[in-house]
Amino acid sequence: MNAPKILILKFSALGDVVHTLPFAATIRKSLPDSHITWMVEERYQDLLRGNPDIDEVLPLRTKVWRKNWTRKSLIEILGTIRTLRQGNFDIAFDLHGLLKSGIIAKLTGAPTRVGFHQKNCKEKISSLFTNHQAAYMPGGLHVVDMYLKLLQSALGKVTERKLFPLNVPDEANKKITSFFDQHPDLTSRPIIAINPGAGFESKQWELVRFAELADRISKELNYSIMLTWGPGEEFKVKKISSYMKQQNWIAPPTSILESIVLYKRMELLVSCDSGPLHLSAAENIPTVSIFGPTDPVRNGAYGINHKVVYKVLSCSFCWKKTCPLGTKECMDQVTVDEVFRAVEQQTKNIPS
């Protein structure tokens, strides 16, 4: 099969989409004549625009459909299924291991539907909808490498390309450049970004601790502090700013592509397990991250120049959106001093 039609099913979230970019790059290198389609939630589709490894992007609107269950939504869903069937895909890769993704893989009609071993699926029932499963992968692998092993199980020998192409339009560069031009005090010192947001509550660190950390970085390490945020998170950075004693700057509202430009102006990012963490890692920006319910070995910042601070408890890496014990002990035990020391060590590796 020299020129197969291939479908990648990786819908969300931001960090997961970023982690899948080497999967597409490896397919392109290994099967250069293949036609590669990627189905992704529409709010993340801009990440794939202009990607040399992707021939077609199919946006999915499940978030909209769930909130607006109407006749129009049903028509859209049926239209999406029809588009999938008309794609005549030879291979569909389910990189989620969810019931939803398994059903969609089946609906494509692709003769080969590739997924994880049942024990590696987030929802084991999803394995019923794939007809080629990778061998079981024990712990200790980053998800980027898990995806590539799954690919190898289906295609045989592949030429790995651990690349993260992210294309940013000129308009995004202009907007961020304009913001920095308007804040010369901010750029008078090198900048460290603090991003307090995370996909769910159990992954979040206390805002007052971020404020204390930011004050120490500003005063003791002589960096400007940029507080960054995503949709629905502005109140968090405003609280951090109000808690701080040192001067700080709140980032402007940004799209995903604009935020890439913003982070590229940073010397370092401090974050919990979040989309910005993985965007920054993809752009080779040094990071310090704080982990709790998710496993940094599997889902941490990928590559070099990254440090992670976390505690191993009896209940660590539960992957729950809210702490089952109601304590968030895994996050609360991470101290400001521990994160500060990690930041200090990272700054010693930054060229002056």
CATH number attached to the domain at 172-347: 3.40.50.2000
Q: Is 133 helix (H, G, I), strand (E, B) or coil?
A: strand
What is the mean pLDDT, run by run of 10 residues, along the chain of 352 residues? 90 97 98 97 95 96 77 84 94 97 96 98 96 96 98 95 95 95 96 95 96 98 97 97 98 97 97 97 97 96 96 92 92 97 94 68
- Beta carbons within 10 angstroms of residue 330's beta carbon: 24
- The CA distances from residue 87 to 4, 46, 61, 224, in Å, are 11, 21, 18, 50
Q: How many helices (H) and strands (E) does the chain have?
A: 13, 12
Q: Which fold has domain 5-155?
A: Rossmann fold (3.40.50)
Structure tokens, 332: 């609360």
Task: Determine the pLDDT at residue 352.
Answer: 65
Task: Report CA torsion sign: 302, 304, 308, 312.
Answer: positive
Its pTM stands at 0.95
Same fold, 5-155 and 172-347: yes
> Which residues partner with 269 through β-bridges?
193, 287
As a whole number of Å, the CA-based R_g of the chain is 21
Q: Which residues contact 117 (CB under 8 A, 6 or more apart)?
A: 127, 133, 134, 135, 136, 137
Angle at 136 between CA 319 and CA 144, to 5 degrees: 60
Q: In the 8-state DSSP scheme, what is residue 306?
A: E
Longest dimension (CA), the chain: 63
What is the residue extent of each domain of the chain?
5-155, 172-347
- Name the residue with tokens 């408890």: 313
pLDDT of residue 59: 94
pLDDT of residue 61: 86
Q: Among residues 66, 60, 63, 35, which one has the least CA distance to residue 45?
A: 60
325 phi, psi to nearest 5 deg? -90, -10
